Amino acid sequence: MRSLPVLLLAFFAVHNVQTARILGLFPHSGKSHQMVFDPLLRTLAERGHDVTVVSFFPIKDPPANYTIVSLEGIATLGLETIDLSYFDSPNKVLKVLGIEKILKQITEFQPLADLALGICSKIVEFNPLADVLKKSYDVLLVENFNSDCMLGLAHVYGLKAPYISLSSSALMQWSPDRIGVTDNPSYVPIMSSDFTSKMNFFQRLENTVMNVYYKIWYRYAIQLKEKAIIEKRFGRRIPDLQEFAKNVSLALVNTFHSMNGVRPLLPGLIEVGGMHLDHTRKPIPHYMERFLNESEHGVVLFSWGSLIKTASIPKYKEDIIVNALSKLKQRVIWKYEDSDEEGTLTGNILKVKWIPQYELLQHPKVIAFIGHGGLLGMTEAVSAGKPMLIVPFYGDQPLNGAAAAAVGLGKAISYADMSEKTLLEGLQSVLSAEMRISARRASKIWHDRLADPLDTAVYWVERVIRWGDQDPLHSTARDLTFIEHNLLDVAAVILLAVIVLILVLRIVLYQILRVLGASMSKKEKLH
Ligand SMILES: *[C@@H]1O[C@H](CO)[C@@H](O)[C@H](O)[C@H]1NC(C)=O
Ligand SMILES: *[C@@H]1O[C@H](CO)[C@@H](O)[C@H](O)[C@H]1NC(C)=O
Ligand SMILES: *[C@@H]1O[C@H](CO)[C@@H](O)[C@H](O)[C@H]1NC(C)=O
């Protein structure tokens, strides 16, 4: 029989978890990121926790015990803001030199620094945030993307609680070191590449250079500058933000190996890809449903997500797309902002302002998806078992596209080089019977897990609340220096030992030969 103290302890552990105080800090202004986290935050509140959420996108109808601190108005929001003409002019000279893709990645990341620093310099002055940071919590949930400003602020206000990082994508390049998981560039592709884990020599070379570049870039372009912003505002020195970053207890990432590719994991690095999927079905508008019902050969759903402004597409590119799509026997629903209330129908293409994307993907008449490789849309398509044609633009989209193609979920084609021919060939391959079967199988594998991803995320958050520091989930690799981590000191000693050994052997051999030589010439003299 268990003793009373143990029972009491167990009671308090469980009791504590039931009423934990949780603070979520989400300083990024892209809506798709927040869409990944909201279901977890809502579920934690519904389970009786006291949840406070600081975000640019406050949820509507929050449950009880869910406090919102809105960052709205601090920065412009990322919604239908990306102009497609930006992706239209790949530089021919750079392309010949083979560095066009690298420069594209580098220039693409710069705005993330401007965004992070802009937001950081606003939130250090934001009183509603200061008010919540002064309270105490059992755990912090912090988005891990392009900023560590919140971690520095939490320190300034004396907030002491284990922290969990949330990623709406695979880990950013600067994140593996925080939890001590390997990101060896010989087989872990960086997140802005279009590589898979099997790379040839030149890909490994690029992957290695970019792996190192991003870490240095993040440190100097963001982390040290955020530290300076906080120190200037509060008029005192604070520890290196990387020290706080490396204190992460658990990292939740929005991936799952069967879609995103197999990568090294740790007990504290948990894949929860699919946790944002909404299991309550929203209705499909009547006119869209009729369009689906009346299609003879099925419908292809076409959406480039919430950030890209589809209507900014250059005329010649739109012609390429329309020409290719109109050659299909299937119908097409295209998310396109500039369309009529009930959609604009041209031939087999229905342009609509807004789509209930996941509901449509689950509709039996929808047989394929044209997307941009954003992780949310891809997750919905894999969950619904529909093959995809991916036209990646920026960020992790090329990587997602390459991973999906590698596991038989679809195909990826280039936007810059897109022609009627490449688009049509891509569509035909995605619409083929083999690809549709392969996508259904990939979907079954993706769904086959011990627990639903949202339940998994809730379990791990509560586990950190229960045990905190007493149950470390990271690897101590994060505490090693570069030299120790890569065993350069050990390699140096072994190399030295080998050299010494060779030298000693040489001397010994030389002496033996000399003695032998001497005794031989002695014998010769005797004769
Ligand atoms: C709200 O939180 C308090 C404790 O912080 C708890 O007693 C109460 O049951 C919670 N309410 C709901 C509806 O979960
Ligand atoms: C790391 O977190 C623990 C609590 O989980 C805290 O005691 C410690 O002070 C933190 N270290 C830093 C550098 O913030
Ligand atoms: C579409 O078909 C379904 C099933 O046959 C039916 O229930 C629904 O009413 C139809 N919707 C429209 C708008 O025709």
154 and 250 together in one domain: yes
pLDDT in tens, 488-503: 999 999 999 999 999 9
Q: Whose CA is nearest to atom 10 of ligand 1?
A: 48
pTM of the full structure: 0.90
Q: Which residues line ligand 3 (CB under 6 A)?
A: 286, 289-290, 293
- pLDDT, residue 101, reads 77
Any domain includes 104: yes
367 and 254 together in one domain: no
Any domain includes 281: no
55 and 15 together in one domain: yes
- pLDDT, residue 94, reads 61
Neighbours of 444 (CB within 10 A): 10
Any domain includes 361: yes
Q: Which residues of the chain have pLDDT under 50?
A: 1-2, 6-15
Beta strands in 37-176 (DSSP E): 50-55, 66-70, 82-83, 139-143, 163-167
Q: What is the mean pLDDT of the chain?
A: 91
Q: Whose CA is nearest to atom 14 of ligand 1?
A: 48
Any domain includes 362: yes
Any domain includes 240: yes
pLDDT in tens, 415-436: 988 999 999 999 999 999 999 9
Which of 447, 467, 494 terminates a domain? The answer is: 447
What is the SS3 assignment for 38? Answer: helix
134 C-alpha to center of ligand 1: Å?
21
461 and 514 together in one domain: no
235 and 139 together in one domain: yes
pLDDT in tens, 151-203: 999 999 999 999 999 999 999 999 999 999 999 999 999 988 999 999 999 99
Those residues with Cβ within 8 angstroms of residue 156's Cβ, 6 or more apart along the chain or in another chain: 133, 230, 234, 238
83 and 223 together in one domain: yes
340 and 488 together in one domain: no
Any domain includes 278: no
Atom from ligand 2 closest to the CA of residue 243: 13
464 and 489 together in one domain: no
466 and 488 together in one domain: no
What is the tally of structural domains in the chain?
Answer: 3
Q: Whose CA is nearest to atom 3 of ligand 2?
A: 162
458 and 441 together in one domain: no
**8 A C-beta contact, residue 318 and residue 346:** no
431 C-alpha to center of ligand 3: Å?
24
248 C-alpha to center of ligand 2: Å?
9
Q: Which residues line ligand 2 (CB under 6 A)?
A: 160, 162, 243-244, 247, 468-469
**8 A C-beta contact, residue 155 and residue 239:** yes
- pLDDT, residue 83, reads 65
Q: Whose CA is nearest to atom 14 of ligand 3?
A: 290
By C-alpha distance, which of 332, 429, 352 is closest to 387?
Answer: 429
Residue type, 413: I
Residue among 43, 44, 65 whose CB has most ligand 1 atoms within 8 A, to mutate: 65
Any domain includes 94: yes
329 C-alpha to center of ligand 3: Å?
21
Residue among 16, 17, 19 whose CB has most ligand 1 atoms within 8 A, to mutate: 19
Structural domain boundaries enclosing 8 = 4-273+451-477
- Nearest ligand to the CA of 19 is 1
- pLDDT, residue 98, reads 67
- pLDDT, residue 84, reads 65
CATH number at 162 reads: 3.40.50.2000
- Nearest ligand to the CA of 474 is 2
Atom from ligand 3 closest to the CA of residue 287: 13
Atom from ligand 3 closest to the CA of residue 289: 13
77 and 118 together in one domain: yes
293 C-alpha to center of ligand 3: Å?
6
457 and 443 together in one domain: no
**CA pair distance 159, 449, nearest whole angstrom:** 36
Any domain includes 512: yes
Residue 349 burial (CB < 10 Å; 0-12/13-18/19+)? buried
Atom from ligand 3 closest to the CA of residue 292: 1
